[in-house]
Structure 1
Amino acid sequence: MDIKELITVDADILGGQPVFTGTRVPVESLFDHLEAGVSLDEFLDDFPTVTKEQAVAILDLANRLLTSRNVNQFYAAVA
């Protein structure tokens, strides 16, 4: 799944905060829930507009970004 199919950044939606495409659910909320010990299924229950496919794809994308040999480019992008 292409990142543009997963994440929308639009100034008219939550002030440009990255959200799951087709929703008003910030991507950050997935990571906040997981960090707090909430299961993926619970997150999906709390945000029914997010599909399991979307959530898993975001986690896969984060994994690929953070374990890539190009992680130094990621560091530079977020610095």
Structure 2
Amino acid sequence: MSLPDPLITISPDYLSGAPVFTGTRVPVRALFDYLEAGDSLNAFLTQFPGVSREHAVAVIKLAAKTVTLGEGGSKAA
């Protein structure tokens, strides 16, 4: 399965502009809420079957890359 480009959509037409997984109405925040609460990725995917594992993992990697860009001036490849 190919991933959408972009991975995340922000539009006033979807959840009042909250970032969502592209192609869905699932807020990206829901994924991080699940993980922060100690729930597994599988629990999130079960609750939101419209999001593929590959899409969720790609968003997690994007978030990690975005966060680490500011650390010590190093950039992820």
Residue pair 2:3, 2:54 contacting (<8 A) in 1 also: no
The CA deviation at 1:5 is 2.3
Alignment RMSD (CA, Å): 2.0
Please name the residue that 1:42 is paired with: 43
Please name the residue that 1:55 is paired with: 56
The CA deviation at 1:67 is 1.5
Residue pair 2:9, 2:22 contacting (<8 A) in 1 also: yes
d(CA) in 1 for partners of 2:4, 2:68:
17
TM-score (norm 2): 0.81
The CA deviation at 1:64 is 0.8
SS of alignment partner, residue 58 of structure 1? helix
More helix by percentage: 1
Task: Give runs of ≥4 in structure 1 deviating > 6 Å.
Answer: none
TM-score (norm 1): 0.80
d(CA) in 1 for partners of 2:37, 2:45:
15
The CA deviation at 1:57 is 0.3
Aligned length: 70
The unaligned stretches of length 5 or more in structure 2 are: 72-77
The CA deviation at 1:2 is 8.1
The unaligned stretches of length 5 or more in structure 1 are: 73-79
